[in-house]
Amino acid sequence: MNTEKKRRAKSPAQGQVGEAEQAERPQLSKKQLVNMVIQLGFIALAFVAIFGFVRAARNDQLRSLCSATCSFGPSYAGRNLKAPDFTLPDLDGKQVSLSEFKGRTVILNFWASWCEPCREEMPALARLGLMLKDRKDVVLLTITTDEDLGAAKDTLATLFAADEELKEKVPKGTFPFVVLLDPELKVVTEKFGTTKYPETWVIDDEGFIRARFDGARDWGGARALSVFKAMERGPGCLVDFNEGKAVGRYAELCAPE
């Protein structure tokens, strides 16, 4: 019983010691609080600066990836439309289907021998074909709507013979790309909705239409290759185009700097 009282008697003293210990804990001075706030401010500014740097670097990378596509000005660009499959004969009568090229980027050009812009574009398209001839990941297909097979062949032969570079590099009677025939417009108009030529479509390795270019372009240079190269890297250029104008979240990537 006495022992219990002694224990109880110590309790107030123990409480006083605890209070003394609490009273002795150092308190931050006003100067120390100010220094702490300044340090936190510097940390926050550093974080904002790093975030801004990373974002700017990413934007520069995306802008570089999109520069060729932006300069070529597609009438359409996106990632949601599947290209319709089709089968057409080539110049030798062999049936060729778009689905045969799944796993490769397909550049699909529509043209006709009577179309003057097509004739103007054809040498550049031939140069593109030469650049791609050893590539296993990209293929260039052209579809002519000529009813006269001879007219299509003669047009290509004449255009290539008149070009000094192509005359040397393209053997007579051959063409540096696949030529398919669609005189009844079963594919060009009924499946793709095309009524004016030339028109060039870019279809990725999974069969999605990534871009459509209305009218002639200079496909014979390195910049054209950059357009197709961008589509091999993940989603590629993220800028969407509608009726020839950059639209959507990433449209600013095509804006002049």
In 3-state terms, what secondary structure has residue 148?
Answer: coil
Q: What is the 3-state secondary structure of 206-244?
A: CCEEEEEEECCCCCCCHHHHHHHHHCCCCCCCCCEEECC
At 156-168, the pLDDT tens digits run 999 999 999 999 9
135 to each of 38, 121, 194, 208, 211, how far by Cα in Å? 59, 22, 28, 20, 20
Distance CA 39, CA 60 (A): 31
At 41-89, the pLDDT tens digits run 667 665 554 544 434 444 556 677 788 888 899 999 988 899 999 999 9
In 3-state terms, what secondary structure has residue 187?
Answer: coil
- In CATH, the number for domain 57-254 is 3.40.30.10
In 3-state terms, what secondary structure has residue 199?
Answer: strand
The answer, as to whether pTM is greater than 0.85, is: no
Spell 185-199 as b/e; 16+ CB within 10 A means b. eebbeeebebeebbb
- The answer to which of 87-91, 229-233, 239-243 has the lowest mean pLDDT is 229-233
Question: What is the maximum alpha-carbon separation in the chain?
Answer: 125
Q: Sign (positive/negative) of CA torsion 147, 153, 155, 156?
A: positive
pLDDT, greater one: 12 or 150: 150
Cis previous bond, 198, omega within 30: yes
At 100-146, the pLDDT tens digits run 999 999 999 999 999 999 999 999 999 999 999 999 999 999 999 99
Q: If you average pLDDT over residues 173-186, what whole number do you get?
A: 96
- Indicate if the pLDDT at residue 37 is higher than 90: no
Tokens, residue 159 = 């255009």
Distance CA 211, CA 123 (A): 21
Strand residues in the chain grouped as ranges (E)? 76-82, 87-89, 95-97, 105-111, 138-144, 178-181, 199-203, 208-214, 240-242, 245-247
Other Cβ atoms less than 10 A from the Cβ of 178: the count is 18
Domains of the chain, residue spans: 57-254
Q: If you average pLDDT over residues 237-255, what whole number do you get?
A: 89
Other Cβ atoms less than 10 A from the Cβ of 63: the count is 18
Give the per-residue pLDDT at 65.
76
At 187-225, the pLDDT tens digits run 999 999 999 999 999 999 999 999 999 999 999 988 898
